[in-house]
Amino acid sequence: MEGTGSYHRDWSEENRGRQYQQHDQHRQPEGSGSHYYGPQGDHSRQGNRIPEEVVTPPLAASASSGSLMAAAVDFKTHVDQACRAAEEFVNIYYETMDKRRQALTRLYLDKATLIWNGNVVTGLDALANFFDMLPSSEFQVNMLDCQPVHEQATQAQTTILVVTSGTVKFDGNKQHYFNQNFLLTAQCTPSNTVWKIASDCFRFQDWASSN
């Protein structure tokens, strides 16, 4: 959305009745000026990248000029980067959750924290044990929203907020509506940027269900 500093996508309108796993085309947010490749992308261009990594092009350097126009362009670039990372992350995360659960912790930082319906889980070993206990799942994402987090709030660490909502059905249980919030932090190299989950908050929204 222009001028808001955030990105919102209602997947339910565009892909009604389809699972997110079917979205294997390479998408590019309008105005981004860059190309990226999703989990089903062109692996010949990704080198030895593993499927459970969220990788985008190198982050653009901040504008050196102090003018308002330069600052606006710089901020728009950061929003575009957040859009690319968020879309790729959502595709990879939920496909991994449903199909390759044992590899899901590769998307988290070593000391990441998950809050699952009020229950706190911290660290990769605890996360692996928790995910192993969950029944098999079938997620459908209907909404994606993202925005960069101001560096003053993250000690200059490049971070984006990703919010999703949709439906999920765990084996043996009824379908639930859910909402999930992620804080993704950038691990930067000269050739690319790898995004990892620092914080993850998941909640059922049964109040919205008509079942």
pLDDT one-digit tens code per residue, 67-99:
554 455 567 777 887 888 899 999 999 999 999
Compute the distance between CA of residue 151 and CA of residue 141 in angstroms, rounded to an integer: 28
**Residue-level pLDDT at 85:** 87
pLDDT at 179 over 60: yes
80 assigned to some structural domain = yes
CA neighbours closer than 13 Å in the CB half-sphere of residue 202? 17
179 assigned to some structural domain = yes
Which residues are registered as beta bridge partners of 193? Answer: 56, 188
152 assigned to some structural domain = yes
Q: Which residue has the higher pLDDT, 17 or 52?
A: 52
What percent of the chain is predicted at pLDDT more than 90?
45
1 assigned to some structural domain = no
Among the residue ranges 24-38, 68-82, 132-146, 152-166, the one predicted with the least confidence is 24-38
Residue 54 pLDDT class (50, 70, 90 cuts)? confident
What percent of the chain is predicted at pLDDT more than 70?
62
Closest CA to 167 of 154, 157, 178, 159: 178
Residue 123 Cα to chain centre, angstroms: 19
Judge contact between 131 and 101, C-beta under 8 A.
Answer: yes
Residue 149 pLDDT class (50, 70, 90 cuts)? confident
Structural domain boundaries, residue 107: 7-208
User: Domains in the chain: how many in total?
Assistant: 1
Compute the distance between CA of residue 84 and CA of residue 195 in angstroms, rounded to an integer: 11
129 assigned to some structural domain = yes
Judge contact between 91 and 38, C-beta under 8 A.
Answer: yes
Mean pLDDT of the chain: 75
**Residue-level pLDDT at 25:** 35
Q: What CATH number did the domain enclosing 143 receive? A: 3.10.450.50
Compute the distance between CA of residue 123 and CA of residue 129 in angstroms, rounded to an integer: 10
Find the helix or strand (DSSP H, E) in which 108 lies.
Answer: strand 108-116
112 assigned to some structural domain = yes
39 assigned to some structural domain = yes
2 assigned to some structural domain = no
pLDDT at 46 over 50: no
